Amino acid sequence: MSLLDSLKGIDWSVVFFLVLCRILSRLSDLVADDTTVQKVLPSRITAIAVHPSLTATLVFVGDKLGNFGFVKLGTGENVVETYRPHTSGLMCLKIRPDDPQKIYSGSYDDTLRCADIERGIFDELYRCAPDAGVMYFDWMQDRTMIVSHSNGQVSFVDTRVEEKQTSLYDLHDRKVRTIDAHPTNSSWFLTGSTDAKVKLWDSRMMSKRRPTPLAMLTHNRSCSGAFFSPVQGNRIVTTSFDDTLKIVNDISPTGEMKQLVSLKHNNYTGRWLTPFKAVWMPGCDELFLVGSMENPRRIEVYSNHGALVCKLMGESITSVSSLVDVHPERLIVAGGNSSGRVQILVEP
């Protein structure tokens, strides 16, 4: 019997269920103590990224004043370094796993920068029009950067050429809080805006200054985040100030996104906390994580059906983790709070 024939009789739904149970079991075992909670920046954290290193536990953060820093957990004292590459709120941090030496940051100061920490240099990659601050960014599959702005626009930036080639489009009426490239469809991307709209776009259909989206979802209040599921991109999770998390399972270009779940969730962070952004578990289209206003303080893990399946807590987690990020391969979860503190949960 061939290997293919032997696999035909397997109930893959059972196998998949067991894998999910194993992930949740490991998540529930994560711990945070005084050695994994660290003050890094002077002000409210507005961006967070866990470094993809397979050996070091390293978390980068940015704050509302434009500060940039990282904490590296150590066997003795933790290593903390801080910089000031931006003059206004640092809104997005990203690290490409295929080039982990570089840390990319976007800011309200209208710039997108690339940091080389070993050299201590922050190169300016892109500067947008004055007062059109960078809110978020991502990469399309051809390495073109898609950048969302505080004035409702989105720009396509080719940073590979010395004279940056830029195309600009009016996609929303207000700030575009997040922008996300589809993991498998090379031309699709997603935007979430404070105009309460989540829109699906095709980069091949950007022939006019104000193009028409493929599909749209409308919240009752501002949307603070919208992201494709990371493997197949067959789901979307959104976060809104209307106190809902929405999970969409029909993202075909039909004009309207069909909701799988509209989940009640207290997203009223107020003026002193960074708005929540639900994010998918890396390598998994069935689980996502989000901060919580509930006590005891925790990070919550939900299934794609809207069930609260795990609460990540610890005695040292005493504040709200508005922003959450997860290591792409290791089970490390990091949250950032309003006082510049990073709360890291690791396996014991």
- β-strand pairing of 215-218 with 255-256: parallel
User: What does residue 22 show for φ and ψ, rounded to 5 degrees?
Assistant: -65, -40
Read off the pLDDT of residues 273-308 as tens digits, 9 standing for 90 and up.
Answer: 999 999 999 999 999 999 999 999 999 999 999 999
Q: How confident is the model at residue 252 (pLDDT cuts 50, 70, 90)?
A: confident
Read off the pLDDT of residues 46-84 as tens digits, 9 standing for 90 and up.
Answer: 999 999 999 999 999 999 999 999 999 988 899 999 999
- Structural domains in the chain plus CATH codes: 28-345 (2.130.10.10)
**How buried is residue 43: exposed, middle or buried, by Cβ count under 10 Å (0-12/13-18/19+)?**
middle
**How buried is residue 231: exposed, middle or buried, by Cβ count under 10 Å (0-12/13-18/19+)?**
middle
Answer whether 35's CB lies under 8 Å from 80's CB. no
pLDDT of residue 196 exceeding 70: yes
**How buried is residue 254: exposed, middle or buried, by Cβ count under 10 Å (0-12/13-18/19+)?**
exposed
B/e letters for 279-292, b = 16+ CB within 10 Å, e = fewer, are bbbbebbbbbbbbb
pTM for the structure as a whole: 0.94
CA pair distance 344, 336, nearest whole angstrom: 9
**How buried is residue 121: exposed, middle or buried, by Cβ count under 10 Å (0-12/13-18/19+)?**
exposed
CA pair distance 128, 339, nearest whole angstrom: 29
Q: How confident is the model at residue 142 (pLDDT cuts 50, 70, 90)?
A: confident
pLDDT of residue 4 exceeding 50: no
